[in-house]
Amino acid sequence: MSTTPWVHNFKGLDRLPADIRTQLETKSHIIEVPAGTQIFAPGQTADSLWLLLDGTVKVQQKSETGRDIFLYRVHAGDSCVLTTASMLAFEDHAAEGTAETDIKAVAIPRDLFDSLVAKSPVFREFVFTAYSRRITDLFTLIDDIVFQRMDVRLAARLLELADGANIVRATHAVLATELGTAREVISRTLSEFQRRGWIEQSRGEVRLVGRAGMERLIKTAAAPA
Amino acid sequence: MSTTPWVHNFKGLDRLPADIRTQLETKSHIIEVPAGTQIFAPGQTADSLWLLLDGTVKVQQKSETGRDIFLYRVHAGDSCVLTTASMLAFEDHAAEGTAETDIKAVAIPRDLFDSLVAKSPVFREFVFTAYSRRITDLFTLIDDIVFQRMDVRLAARLLELADGANIVRATHAVLATELGTAREVISRTLSEFQRRGWIEQSRGEVRLVGRAGMERLIKTAAAPA
DNA sequence: TCTGTTTGGTGACGAAGTCACCGTCGTGCC
DNA sequence: GGCACGACGGTGACTTCGTCACCAAACAGA
């Protein structure tokens, strides 16, 4: 790890001038947290910006109605820009972030973050790009929720979540909050997928055995012309 | 207008130190555009950040399916941060912004924006606050879309859109894209509101004559406990 | 005045969310 | 081992919402 500097894991940051980069590397520190850890939560103020080296973080909105809804997933190579908001204590967001897997990340302390934004145009660009990508991601999420059929969205999500062996380890309830729908809808849709021979199910997991069919479903929905 | 400096219209900016403030006031310029103007659109790159002095801007997502969906509204006193993304040509967003009314705004050119972000912590905070507010707004929008009933959302939107005389000037079709639903649903729901004596309708406008009832509907939906 | 467009209304249907309830599987405890 | 409880998944009935295919009235321009 120490042999290849982590800066190269982040598109944009490798263009930092040497002095800034040294500063970033010396004044930030690498942290590791186990799966399941709350990274941030409503009401908490963060003290550093995280850049994910390894693992994934799931960001969900805690609804007033008690139900959760999935917003986005932070992957290795992404930064957790939402924390900059709470970092600077501007507003309290209603979102919470949880480590889905064991996590390795770079933590940039608040004052270092601020000084880098001030000093480095490249770092500025990095931060703003991250912000606007989040926003445009949310735009397409909204688009999806409003216009896309459930079966298409579920098929797409299954393909995303599948591991190397084409297995998705998630309960129907989890898939439901991922897509902002009800568990029953997931159950019914998965039954239909199974009937079509696209998947096999067992408790807590879905095995994809007919990706082609699901991909076809998605494609036809995307290009109705 | 020139007597009261516009800086005071923006929460946060009045805390700028005198020199920065002078720079901001001299190097930016006031622009006015008529209602209906496209402020930004997919594929276009903006060259300045707008701070709204007067009027409203409606930001919509152009969906691939050809349909539009309302995202948010920029009011006087808000900044149009989304343009910073396209300003720096980071990504092309699929959103478009239209002037709903005649608009007066402060345009901060790209290089001034960049230098202010570098120099002034107060300006930085202003920008980041604006960004994170947009993001949290989108969070609550998603929450609304997923969990809130149409009639509640429509009632709330009507109350927001009503002018001083309690009149909403909008066609059913416009209200439909505002809420990301179909015109038929709006028509039916409005009929129901009319039946309950909450509104009166005529071509292109809705008169609110029973705000109390609508407010009650919203309140019961918000606090089911 | 005639005509094309915009706006709004309706019924039928399908997709999705809600509610109530049940069976099954797994885990841990006695 | 047997039991109890909780997590997980399945199902039917019903409501709400989105879609489709129309139609009628209001309006604007020629």
- Do the Cβ atoms of A207 and A220 come closer than 8 Å? no
pLDDT tens-place string over residues B34-79: 998 988 888 777 788 999 999 999 999 888 777 889 999 999 999 9
Write the residue in A69, A135, A146 that is nearest to B135 by C-beta.
A135
pLDDT tens-place string over residues A160-187: 999 999 999 999 999 999 999 999 999 9
Q: How confident is the model at residue A89 (pLDDT cuts 50, 70, 90)?
A: low
Q: Do A63 and B91 touch (CB under 8 A)?
A: no
Q: Which of residues 142-171 of A touch strand C (CB under 7 A)?
A: 149-151
User: What pLDDT score was predicted for residue B221?
Assistant: 81
When the pLDDT of each residue in chain A is averaged and rounded to a whole number, the result is: 89
Would you call B89 an interface residue with chain A, using a CB distance cutoff of 8 Å?
Answer: no
A190 token code pair: 């998965």
Q: Is the pLDDT of residue A132 over 70?
A: yes
Q: Do B132 and A90 touch (CB under 8 A)?
A: yes
User: What pLDDT score was predicted for residue A92?
Assistant: 64
Q: How confident is the model at residue B88 (pLDDT cuts 50, 70, 90)?
A: low
Distance in Å from C29's C1' to B25's CA comes to: 74
User: What pLDDT score was predicted for residue B107?
Assistant: 94
Kindly report the pTM of this predicted structure.
0.91
A134 contacts in B (CB within 8 Å)? 135
Q: How confident is the model at residue A118 (pLDDT cuts 50, 70, 90)?
A: very high
Amino acid of residue A219: K
Would you call A93 an interface residue with chain B, using a CB distance cutoff of 8 Å?
Answer: yes
Give the chain B residue whose CA is nearest to the CA of A63: B143
Q: What is the mean pLDDT of residues B129-136?
A: 87
Alpha helix positions (H), chain A: 18-27, 82-87, 110-119, 121-147, 150-161, 172-179, 183-195, 211-222
Q: Is the pLDDT of residue A1 over 60?
A: no
Mutate to test the interface with B, among A82, A96, A139 (most CBs of B within 10 A): A139
Rounded to the nearest 10°, the torsion over CA A187, A193, A195, A199 is -100
Q: Do B82 and A132 touch (CB under 8 A)?
A: yes
Give the chain A residue whose CA is nearest to the CA of B82: A132
